[in-house]
Structure 1
Amino acid sequence: MSKQPLLGMTLTELQDITRNLGMPKFTAKQIATWIYEKKVSSINEMTNLSLKQREKLDAEFEIGASAPVESMHSVDGTIKYLFQVSEKDFVEAVYIPDDDRATLCVSSQVGCKMNCKFCMTGKQGFSANLSANQIINQIYSIPESEKLTNIVMMGMGEPLDNLDEVLKALEIMTSDYGFKWSPKRITVSSVGLKKGLRQFLEKSHCHLAISIHSPVPAQRADLMPAEKAFPITEIVELLRKYDFSKQRRLSFEYIVFNGVNDSLLYAKELIKLLRGLDCRVNLIRFHAIPNVDLDGADMETMTKFRDYLTSHGVFTTIRSSRGEDIFAACGMLSTAKKQEKNDEKL
């Protein structure tokens, strides 16, 4: 029988384990400290637990950390890590150093149900939700773990479609028994799943980024099928009910496609849609993926778009493009690895 991983368990879950094993309640906090603060590699290293307690714990549990199986290094310092989460499934995490910041882009699912036209992960289809263990492991097991200043859940998958495990992971990142990070160091990205969005806003204080990519519903539906079930106009109205001025930041992600959504007509529609909302817009360069007839806009066009929005009261930035020499688009490395595994079986 395989052992259960302790990494990714909340304090409440650890308390259930220690109670079932006949250990004092405070033992759960000791275990959490060994895992999340001291980052031990084995239960035997938990030396303030008695030998008998360690033996009981070791009989059914393990730390449950697993190193990435592959990495790709960019000339700009970006590193893409590949984690194996099942016999045939892989997910990516991307380490992005930038002056005094070090950000890790984390995945929440294997594949994705959203099937956005421009996303390589969506082309994989959906395979599985990641457990809190598999989400936290991406942060825990990279060599640069101690250098991290920020986490963005913008990797493979739709975080709000795996809300329970994502909320567990966020609790571990921000709690006193876990990584002790401020929620302001963490951003969760979503296409805007309405039910999950409400729960996230009520249960977490982390920053929120909504993928918008077009302010025109018909066009957004073509780019992002989720628009049909979760119209961006309804998502924006829901967001107006929450306070984003102090505890968290609200941003909208906007990939700028050449000749598709890059004219000032779209900037004007964005201004109308977001008017009065305390938010910012992040413009993103498109990384081409196979068999998709979309191209990224040039920097001059993006700059004009940014300047128009900013001059009309919508604070806008252009996100730096990173890792273009190492399968920059999310999902490309995992897709290639999955195909490699399939080819090995032929």
Structure 2
Amino acid sequence: MDKRFLFGLTLSELQGVVKSLGMPAFAAKQIASWLYQKKIGSIDEMSNLSLKHRELLKEEYEIGLHEPVEAMRSVDGTIKYLYQVNGNHFVEAVYIPDDERATLCVSSQVGCKMNCKFCMTGKQGFSANLTAGDILNQIHSLPEKEELTNIVFMGMGEPLDNIDEVLKAIEVMTSSYGYGWSPKRITVSTSGLKKSFRRFIDESDCHLAVSLHSPLSAQRAELMPAERAFSLLEIVDILREYDFSKQRRLSFEYIVFKGVNDSLVYAKELLKLLRGIDCRINLIRFHAIPGVALEGADMETMTAFRDYLTSHGLFTTIRASRGEDIFAACGMLSTAKQEGLK
């Protein structure tokens, strides 16, 4: 019989585990402490549990932590880690050190269903959802874990298409029984998914980043098929109902494509679309991927685009590109090779 994993369980789930095994209720917090506040490799190391209770746990459970199976290092210091999940699947996570900040870009799915035109993960297709344990393992087993200042759900997959496990992982990250991090250290990026968009905003205080890439619905649909199911206008209407000025940051991700969405005409449309919303725009350089004819705009064009938006009251930044030489930059993550896909 395959054993179940303890790592990734919330406190309420651990309470269910100890109850089912006839252990005292307080053992759930003890287990949580071992799982999330210390780095252990086996149940035997949980020394404040009695030998009897450790044996009971071992009959049905194991820890469930897995070290990365591969690491690729960029000339700019970025490191891309490969993790094996669910037995025979793989995901990538990207560690980005930057002066006093150190960010980890985590994955939430193996592949992705969204099939955005500019993204290698989407070209790979969808294979599986990650569990909360799979998501947290990318953090907990990271060699540089103690250096981390920020987590971004901008790796493989659409986080809101795996909302239950993503929210469980965030609970562990932000709860006192888990990592105890502020939600302001965590950003979740989404292309927009109608069934879980509002739920994420209501149930989480983490920062939200919406993949925009065009202010025009028809053009966005060409770049991002998800637009047809949940339009940009619907997304913006929902966002207008919330106050993002205090508890969290709202940003819009905008990849700038040469000759597609890089003229000031689009900047003006962005101003119209987002008028009255407390937000920022992150401009991202497009990184060429195989089989896609799109090109990235030059820095002069991106700078002019940024300056126009900022001068008209919409705070805009140009995100530094990191890890392109190891295919770790935005839109370049893929485990198609490991998955046996073409």
Alignment of 1:145-224 (within 5 A): 145-224=145-224
Amino acid paired to 1:266: Y
Alpha-carbon contact 1:92-1:331 (below 8 Å) kept: no
Distance 2:86 2:40 in 1: 24
Aligned to 1:137: 137
Distance 1:52 1:71 in 2: 39
Aligned to 2:70: 70
Note closer, same or farther for the CA distance 1:184–1:125 as it changes in structure 2 (3 Å cut): same
CA drift at 1:41: 1.1
CA displacement, residues 191-234 of structure 1 (integer Å, 9 cap, x when unaligned) = 11122111001100000000000001110000000111111011
3-state SS of 1:325 partner: helix
Aligned to 1:263: 263
Distance 2:89 2:2 in 1: 19
Confirm whether residue 291 of structure 1 aligns to residue 302 of structure 2.
no
Distance 1:80 1:333 in 2: 11
Distance 1:81 1:201 in 2: 29
Aligned to 1:338: 339
Amino acid paired to 1:334: T
Distance 1:187 1:228 in 2: 25
CA drift at 1:319: 0.3
How many pairs does the alignment contain?
Answer: 341
CA displacement, residues 278-330 of structure 1 (integer Å, 9 cap, x when unaligned) = 00000001111100010111111100000000000100000000001101344
Amino acid paired to 2:261: N
Distance 2:136 2:247 in 1: 23
3-state SS of 1:110 partner: strand
Distance 1:150 1:332 in 2: 19
Alpha-carbon contact 2:95-2:105 (below 8 Å) kept: yes
Alpha-carbon contact 1:156-1:331 (below 8 Å) kept: no
Amino acid paired to 1:9: L
Aligned to 1:274: 274
Aligned to 2:253: 253
RMSD of aligned Cα (Å): 1.2
TM-score, scaled to structure 1: 0.96
Distance 1:290 1:268 in 2: 31
Alignment of 1:55-94 (within 5 A): 55-94=55-94
CA displacement, residues 171-190 of structure 1 (integer Å, 9 cap, x when unaligned) = 00000000000000000000
Aligned to 1:114: 114
Alpha-carbon contact 1:211-1:252 (below 8 Å) kept: yes
Distance 2:6 2:122 in 1: 31
Amino acid paired to 1:209: A
Alpha-carbon contact 2:155-2:333 (below 8 Å) kept: no
Distance 2:285 2:59 in 1: 50
CA drift at 1:36: 0.3
Q: Which moved more, 1:204-213 or 1:322-331?
A: 322-331
Distance 1:30 1:173 in 2: 17
Aligned to 1:7: 7
